[in-house]
Structure 1
Amino acid sequence: MPKLKPGTIIPTPEEDAAINAGIAADPDTHELTDEDFKRMKPMVRGRGRPAGSGTKEQITVRFDADVIEAFKAGGEGWQTRMNDALKQWLGEHANDDHYPVESPTKNRA
């Protein structure tokens, strides 16, 4: 039997029987079968940040301070807006000789 904290009150056999009778009378509960236990899956995800979409790549890049300030002035989501602006620019310049990249906005839903 596990060690109990001081002050823990264990129900008497009569109280335990009353608790079990209340559980049995509750229409929202039922005894789990072995099959129920086999189908159960834990609802716990691992620690840390949720997994990303896998489509982004983390890099280090330097921009002029005024460019960063302009995007940050828009508030939350400035990095996403900057990414969208770069995608738009690539889409507009997809046929340039210096940027032979297929437009990233073609496949967007």
Structure 2
Amino acid sequence: MLRRWKVYDQEMKALIAAGGVHQDADGWWVDDKTGELIGPDPDLERPLEEEELANMRPFREVFPDLAASMDREVAKRGRPPLDKVKTSVTIRLDPDIVAHYKATGKGWQSRMNDDLRKATGL
């Protein structure tokens, strides 16, 4: 990989030195005559050296406060806890009853729960 990058780097630098090439805002080199993208900035594509790889440390070790802050934000995601948790049950109902409630759209189970509440006087 490093050998291929060195060849690419030399070719790009020779092209740039010859002129007729400019770098756009994204770091890509563009042929002035054709407008064709030639390639990205060689420094952006350079593979890491062995020493650089050896010096790498985990994100949590380098930025412990930021990692803890991110953990707290992730923990906040999702539905907030309910005051009264509903109980899951299995019940057999006539198909026309289920079809009637499903026809009312999304949230039909909650509407069925509300109707049972009213019917029982709770």
Band of TM-score, shorter chain: 0.3 to 0.5
TM value normalised by structure 1: 0.43
Find the structure with the greater CA-based Rg.
Answer: 2
TM value normalised by structure 2: 0.38
- The structure with more strand, counted as a fraction of residues: 2
- The structure with more helix, counted as a fraction of residues: 2
Q: Which has the higher contact order (CA 8 A, sep 6+)?
A: 2
